[in-house]
Copies of this chain bind each other. A is one copy, B any other.
Amino acid sequence: MEQTPVDIDQLRDAIDRGDAQQVGTLVAELYPAEIARLIESLPAHERQAIWTAVPDDSEGEVLVELNEEVRSSLVEAMASHEVVAATEGLDIDDLADFVADLPENLTHKVLESLSVQDRERLQAALAWPADSAGGLMNPETVSVRPDVNVDVVLRYLRMRGELPVNTDSVFVVDREDHYLGVLTFARLLTSDPEAAVTELMDPSVEAIQATSSATEVAREFQDRDLVSAAVIDGAGRLIGQITVDDVVDVIQEQADHDILSRDGLDEDDDMFAPILTSSGRRAVWLAVHLTLAFSTAAVINLFQATMNKVILLAVLMPMVAALGGIAGSQTLTLMIRSIALGRIQGANISPLLRRELSIGLVNSLLSATVVAGVTAVFFRDWRVAGVIAAATAINLLIAAAVGFGVPLALRRLRIDPALAGSVILITVTDLVGFVAVLGLGTLLLT
């Protein structure tokens, strides 16, 4: 594995020259996921040149790896028989993801192209929510009975031939397909051919319920260092398996979501969507903040008289608001991350709250002292220094409480804390910062 990234310059060069042959040669060297990343990274006209160069039998895999929006735009430009051809050979779990985003008439055509068995499997997979274990699983598994021996399993596997990607185990089931345990390939390969499956299998490895959320699945894989896991229905019957490659995608997508939604961005958006589409999406976020900022301004406006008397308050109030935002954001981010990582549970909330408030108190007093000192020295006004310091202390303490409480409250309300948390925090710290400075200023200095 030479760690040379795709030579994107060379490729763009070939595209610009219209040298389809060289584009084809360069693209053929790449894995589907690399082609997908490349397509996502380029503007529309260059995308088309690369897409044309993708070998027919890789088209399906590339489509599956692409983000939703880019994929839809490519699929829209394809004839329906091309779409059906691209789905050939895809695993059922990938096919389910792909089909879920297709227009209904295309879904229908893809279903028609499948064997009866695959169609039933696909329909079963589509019955589960995409972000559940059932939605992540591949219905194809390798299962054996507990009463056979290793030699029988080995002969069965040879007869069966190709296995689903990243399968590292056979699952042991009874006559009614109830899951009993797992027998890893490593165990299978290192055991006596005469040994019985029932002796070798590990019955302590529990299967995953199809209704489990993708987040729970990811945590189980991480906690138990799994490569694959059995998925069972409510009756304990084996209905599929989840492999680690899909779990890695879940972890990556959740991280992207947590990072991007804080700025009102969506991980499924196309980097090169039409400019007005992207402007519109971002404008929604700006509009939310604009509305809140105008409300804050309306409140500030009530204190015109105070500002006119002590203009230094207007000079320093943005600093007080900003410091609250910065300190509160630290608590907020820690809380959102801890919730995402499963570190917040009923019982540790009160010691954590005490802790965050204590840290908030220490740092609010510290900041207030520094702010008072600098204001007094630099702006030579002791009374303003006192007001600014008191406002800073109040704002940082409230910021800690808001940063702590808002994610918990949002989680309870089933609102994404990563999306709404920072908007609420900034609004509160701005309001409190400005009102504390101007209110105290009105009371004490006018």
| Residue ranges of A at the interface with B (Cβ–Cβ < 8 Å) | 1-3, 5-6, 8-9, 12, 31, 33-34, 37, 40-43, 154, 157-158, 160-163, 165-168, 185-186, 188-192, 206-209, 212, 216, 220-225, 227, 229, 244-245, 247-249, 251-252, 254-256, 258-260, 262-265, 271-272, 275-276, 278-279, 282-283, 285-287, 289-290, 293-294, 296-298, 300-301, 304, 307-308, 311-312, 314-319, 321-323, 326-327, 329-330, 333-334, 336-338, 341-348, 351-352, 355, 358-359, 362-363, 366-367, 370-371, 374, 378-379, 426, 430, 434
What does DSSP make chain A's interface, helix, strand, loop or mixed? helix
| Contact B374–A294 (Cβ < 8 Å) | yes
* CB neighbours of A225 from chain B (8 A): 33, 165-166, 245
| Contact B220–A1 (Cβ < 8 Å) | yes
Instruction: Give the nearest-CB partner of A276 in chain B.
Output: B362
CB distance from A363 to the nearest CB of B (A): 5
| Contact A31–B224 (Cβ < 8 Å) | yes
Q: List 10 A-B contacts (CB under 8 A).
A: A2-B206, A162-B190, A222-B245, A244-B248, A263-B334, A272-B355, A289-B322, A293-B322, A307-B315, A318-B321
In-complex Cβ contact of A244 among B31, B33, B227 (8 A): B227
Given A279-B362, A279-B366, output 9 extra A-B contacts at Cβ < 8 Å: A1-B206, A37-B342, A188-B189, A251-B251, A251-B255, A263-B326, A282-B330, A300-B318, A301-B312
Determine which residue in A37, A258, A262, A326 has the highest number of CB atoms from chain B within 10 A of its CB, and name it: A326
| Contact A330–B190 (Cβ < 8 Å) | no
In-complex Cβ contact of A186 among B163, B264, B282 (8 A): B163
Known: A1-B207, A186-B185, A318-B318. A327 touches B282 (CB 8 A): yes
| Contact B314–A314 (Cβ < 8 Å) | yes
CB distance from A245 to the nearest CB of B (A): 4
* CB neighbours of A271 from chain B (8 A): 334, 338, 343, 352
Determine which residue in A165, A225, A336 has the highest number of CB atoms from chain B within 10 A of its CB, and name it: A225
A163 to B186, CA, bound (A): 7
